[in-house]
Homo-oligomer: A and B are copies of this chain.
Amino acid sequence: SRSIRLAAIPGDGIGPEVVAEGLKVLDAVAPAHDLSFEQTEYDLGAARYHRTGEVLPDSVLAELRDQDVILLGAIGDPSVPSGLLERGLLLRTRFEFDHYANLRPVKLLPGASSPLAGVGPDDIDMLVVREGTESLYAGTGGVIRKGTPHEIATQESVNTAFGVERVVRYAFEQAAARPRKKLTLVHKDNVLAYAGDLYQRVLKRVGEEFPQVETDYCHVDAATMYFVNQPRRFDVIVTDNLFGDIITDIGAAVAGGIGLAASGNVNPDGTAPSMFEPVHGSAPDIAGQGKADPTATILSVVMLLDHLGETAAARRVETAVAEDLIERAGAGVRSTAQIGDAIAKRVAG
């Protein structure tokens, strides 16, 4: 049997609840596919920070690096200054492990319901490839004369040919493997002239390696509008870190809600473990109540299995989710664990 080292970082708020269901489903699918998951749980997030002052100790980062794959719940809590855990733990991991391809499918599954009138599964099926290691997320910038009427606060978006080229090439590969073979660059090159121009030139140059892929460009502001009124316009999208953050939340909204949106922080070169996580946050308002929908985490497990090359197991979980979604439409409200149980049962059966 194939043994896979998996680190689970349940995190804050509803994170532990949804990760428990993700692991439950993973345990259910493993035997039939001859997989065994060696799981290590890492206690990181607000509780640890309050207890020890630690966010992500270097020793933990080193241990995580030895894993095959990471499953993360959610990070962030109102008791901790905004951004401290997000930057120190989530973004640090993305950067240190070179998760340059942040994959976010935006797909309306049968059974899921879109808030858009008259829109069905055929209308929304895209893959957003969000750059994960640069742009405004670099964290550079600063403040002078803080607290005075003359304060200036800056943030810098750093974009490199190296960083842009690798994510654009990855996106072309994804587009080439899909039926529509269309890649849209989403940026704001009429205002962000330097970074936008770099993305445009790289798209053109790398595109020569993929003559079968049709390319297209769309300003980020227009793209958000098209997500709402012309979602069919898009197949694969490549975009920078910040724009990707924003458009994938609208994507989640139109494709059935944040309870269904999965993601992978992928290091395509395999030099460090990739990390899978639901797009949603820690939702402290509903934490501990069994109200969170674990489906986004379970779909992140599907992406995790695909990443490991375990496509048969991935399809099995995916099918179970799809069946559950169809069944749940119109049925009563179920708890986090009930949804996980139902999907695990389908997977095992």
Report A's interface with B, CB cutoff 8 A. Answer: 76, 82-83, 86-87, 91, 115-117, 136-137, 139, 141-143, 145, 147-162, 165, 188-198, 201, 220-222, 224-225, 227-229, 242, 245-250, 252-254, 257-258, 281
Contacts and interface: CB of A to CB of B under 8 A. Distances in A.
8 contacts: A87-B190, A153-B159, A154-B194, A155-B157, A155-B195, A156-B156, A221-B248, A224-B253
Contacts of A137: 191
Contacts of A221: 245-246, 248-249
Number of copies of this protein chain within its complex: 2
B87 A191 contact: yes
A136 B192 contact: yes
A271 B150 CA distance: 21
Contacts of A246: 220-221, 224, 246
B136 A150 contact: no
A95 to B, nearest CB: 12
B86 A190 contact: yes
Given A191-B91, A222-B249, A224-B249, A157 B160 contact: no
Given A192-B136, A224-B250, A228-B254, A201 B147 contact: yes
Contact of A159 (B145, B154, B252): B154
Contacts of A162: 149-150
A198 B249 CA distance: 25
Contacts of A91: 191
Nearest to A244: B221
A304 to B, nearest CB: 23
A219 B117 CA distance: 26
Contacts of A257: 229
Given A222-B249, A229-B253, A161 B151 contact: yes
Given A192-B136, A254-B228, A158 B152 contact: yes
A196 B117 contact: no
Contacts of A142: 194
